[in-house]
Amino acid sequence: MNLFDKTLLDFLEPLAKLSSDRKQELADVCFIEKVGKGIDPLRMNVTQAPQLIYLTKGDLGLCFHDDRKLILRGGSPAAKHPINNGHQIKQVVALTDVEILRADADLLDIMLMWDQLSGMRSVAAGQAASGLFI
């Protein structure tokens, strides 16, 4: 088990949208992984499960299918978003030793849905209590 500062989830999108209870549940199954310079962290998914991958420390070189190149730095505003979320990335390489956070994408979708549904129930219950909902 790799422990990390769970407040990190408050700064990553869409993880920050989760309720505090859901963040705690997700934090229990997320982990920080150290990746050495010259390695592609996206190819290291040993579970082969859909994952969201966030750069938390270090620098990554990204090359997109349209041949654009970008350096992503951990802690930057762009690093609040998953590296592999819908981008057409052709190649990734760690330019320094890096740390990445892996989150199960399917579990996150379920948790976001639970929070959304529980919020809808709370609103409906409040409307019923105030007599606005019949």
pLDDT in tens, 49-87: 688 999 999 999 999 999 999 999 999 999 999 998 766
Q: List, in sequence order, every residue forming a beta bridge with 31; answer none if it has no partner.
A: 102
Cα–Cα distance measured from residue 62 to residue 89, given in angstroms and rounded to the nearest whole number: 7
Alpha carbon 94 to its chain's center: 18
The position carrying tokens 């938390």 is 56
Please compute Rg for the chain using Cα positions.
Answer: 18
Q: What is the pTM of this model?
A: 0.79
Tens of pLDDT along 75-130? 999 999 999 876 688 999 999 999 999 988 898 889 989 888 876 555 544 555 55
Beta-ladder partners of 32:
101
